Amino acid sequence: MSQTLQAVRGMNDILPDEAEFWETFEEIVRSWLKSYGYRPIRLPIVEPTPLFKRAIGEVTDIVEKEMYSFIDSLNGEALTLRPEGTAGCVRAAIQHSLVAQQPRRLYYTGPMFRHERPQKGRYRQFHQVGVEALGFAGPDIDAEMILMGARLWADLGLDGIELQLNSLGQPDERAQHRAALVSYFEEHADILDEDARRRLYTNPLRILDSKNPTLQAMCAGAPKLIDHLGTDSLNHFEGVQRVLRDAGIPFTINPRLVRGLDYYNLTVFEWVTDRLGAQGTVCAGGRFDGLVGQLGGKATPACGFAMGVERLVALIRESGGEPAAPAPDVYVVHQGDDATRLAFRVAEGLRNNGIDVLLHCGGGSFKAQMKKADASGATFAVVIGDDEAATGEAQLKVLREEGVEQRKLKVDELADAIIGQLIDSDEEE
């Protein structure tokens, strides 16, 4: 295998079996979104680099080392393959004044790009379904988004996906807590390990996740963010939880849940499974009230979440979901010039009646063609040879039942006969 002919590392071809599985997934997702009043928006895959730097945060891993950024050699613009969807969605909302008159519920799907080391459930080109509600201030929209998740897992036949919830408060509250946390860790600098020292000023919250037992004991006494939340933040958080309790959605409050992107505030949540190894988050999101203003729009509250398509599809597979291989209704077998001409007419005529037809192409003996007909999974074979072509007839053969004689029919009668039998067999099931 020539190395120059390989897909870029971490960017996958989705082959037909897999792609069909994705399409059924996407159909379920679209009808689910529609049932909550979300409308599609299609956004560019490439955006100006500064958009992501401003939205995601200069010091995040994504911006510092994971973005596919380049200079457009034709005009010198700094461009980036989108590493996430929210920034572009907000940019579009501002550019087109989408929230000037009214709030909006929007969704988008498509590829995102992050230069990380590939692993199961983590790819350099991966796909998300992103859902954003712009212009809603209260905890009701947060709660509705979480309820949406629960419904989708049910629609997809998934269970065992657990909800984790936290509140990040407002930026000033978060900053206070962070300062308290850093000074707490500085007091215990003697027991910090190398990893913790590195994170102390870059990502002190992550020290709380340390697997080092001596650190864990120390972390138990660390300042808690929830103690730095003001009344408004606490009320908002409680408002979300009340709806979840009313709806009977179990959740765990995880004080260590911080999202990787700077723009989040107040409610953040993740849906997590333990069946996918290290990449267990299948859906995550939260509130980002500051982002629209930060990107130059009029201050607009907002909330959103994103799902990882690869991860969800893998989880459905893991749960035993298998795609039903789609089969045509009819496979048309033909041999001889006149027969081929009639076969085209027959195939198109059947399709006019809504029947799925695979017309044999590529010649070969009747035997070889019948093998293909069988392998296609078709319910019927329609066989046309010179004899049939001469009389305007075709043989209709039932492929998947024993003891049914094939019948010779006028080509005009084929569609009715096939539809009639398809309906009969549907009723038997």
Partner RNA sequence: GCGGCAUUAGCUCAGUCGGUAGAGCACUGGAUUGUGAUUCCAGGUGUCACCGGUUCGAUCCCGGUAUGUCGCCCCA
Q: Which residues bind RNA (CB under 7 A)?
A: 1, 3, 6, 8-10, 60-62, 66, 84, 114, 116-123, 126, 128, 195, 199, 203, 206, 209, 211, 259-261, 270, 277-284, 306-308, 310-311, 364-368, 370-375, 381, 383-388, 395, 397, 399-400, 402, 406
**Least spacing, CB of residue 220 vs RNA, in Å:** 18
**Least spacing, CB of residue 209 vs RNA, in Å:** 6
- The answer to whether 265 and 293 have CB atoms below 8 angstroms apart is no
Whichever of 284 and 291 has its CB closer to RNA, that residue is 284
Whichever of 224 and 371 has its CB closer to RNA, that residue is 371
Whichever of 205 and 244 has its CB closer to RNA, that residue is 205
Whichever of 100 and 361 has its CB closer to RNA, that residue is 361
**Least spacing, CB of residue 384 vs RNA, in Å:** 7
Whichever of 229 and 343 has its CB closer to RNA, that residue is 343
**Least spacing, CB of residue 124 vs RNA, in Å:** 8
Helices (H), 14-73: 16-35, 49-56, 61
Eight-class DSSP state of 403: T
**Least spacing, CB of residue 270 vs RNA, in Å:** 6
Q: Which residues in 174-200 are b (16+ Cβ under 10 Å) and which e?
A: bebbbebbeebbeeeeeebeeebeebb
Q: What is the rounded CA–CA span in Å between residue 304 and residue 267?
A: 10
Whichever of 130 and 297 has its CB closer to RNA, that residue is 130
Whichever of 42 and 117 has its CB closer to RNA, that residue is 117
Describe the chain by its helix, strand, coil percentages, rounded to 5.
Answer: 45, 20, 35
**Least spacing, CB of residue 221 vs RNA, in Å:** 21
Helices (H), 248-336: 291-294, 309-318
Whichever of 239 and 336 has its CB closer to RNA, that residue is 336
Q: Locate 299 and state its tokens.
A: 């201050």
Whichever of 20 and 116 has its CB closer to RNA, that residue is 116
Q: What is the rounded CA–CA span in Å between residue 391 and residue 130?
A: 58
- How many CB atoms are closer than 10 A to CB 310? 22
- The answer to whether 102 and 135 have CB atoms below 8 angstroms apart is yes
- How many CB atoms are closer than 10 A to CB 212? 15
N-terminal to C-terminal alpha carbon distance within the chain: 47
- The answer to whether 124 and 10 have CB atoms below 8 angstroms apart is yes
Whichever of 203 and 248 has its CB closer to RNA, that residue is 203
**Least spacing, CB of residue 288 vs RNA, in Å:** 11
**Least spacing, CB of residue 176 vs RNA, in Å:** 21
- How many CB atoms are closer than 10 A to CB 414? 23
**Least spacing, CB of residue 158 vs RNA, in Å:** 13
- The answer to whether 306 and 84 have CB atoms below 8 angstroms apart is yes
Q: Could you please report the per-residue DSSP string of 235-248?
A: HHHHHHHHHHHHHT
**Least spacing, CB of residue 233 vs RNA, in Å:** 21
Q: What is the rounded CA–CA span in Å between residue 240 and residue 285?
A: 14
Q: Rg for the chain (alpha carbons), in Å?
A: 29
